[in-house]
Structure 1
Amino acid sequence: MADESLNLPGGHRASVWTVGHSTRSFDEFLSILEENRIQLLADVRHFPSSRRVPWATKASLGAALGERGIGYEHFEALGGFRKAAPDSMNTGWRSAGFRGYADYMAT
């Protein structure tokens, strides 16, 4: 997990962490969240599902985290699967998906 602190209005601070499910079991994933006192998981996958990790679907993950007092929200608009621009300057990427995301991040 990686931590990034944010300054919020009123002098408040919040931490934003990043984590991926990889091939972890749900219990391993949950342990990571609990060890870091995560209160809300913001899912930024465009398609919140996984063929290899059945517990990582939007419905399963949201319900399981809710049972353990951790919030879950899906932010589809932040997800990947972006198309490369016709005039993309990111031609170093062989993968069209990576090139599309690089183009998106440059906007």
Structure 2
Amino acid sequence: MSAAANALRGEGELRIGGATHVLRPSFGALVAAEAELGPLFALVERAADGRLALGEMATLFWHCIAERPAALTREAVGEAVVAAGLAGATPALRLLLGQILQGR
């Protein structure tokens, strides 16, 4: 489990398997997400149009988890998104997409 999220750094939180993990949209995390998902601006556009796929959301979260434990799997991140539902995952997604557009 990571430390508490720091809103001033543009961090969010995601609950996975009973633990809260910090989502930190660092340069390295966003580059890794972009390498897998394609251009981040296109990702933001898909999200704005309501066309962001569940797998894309989970992938973005996966890459942005700070201090990711070795035992944490991508599947667990996806399951956490499903368990939270779109309404539960949206605040973290909104924060990450806002950071992509606005920076820190």
TM-score between the two structures when normalised by the length of structure 2: 0.27
Structure number with the bigger relative contact order (C-alpha 8 A, sep ≥ 6) is 2
Report the structure number with the largest CA radius of gyration.
1
Decide which structure has greater helix share.
2
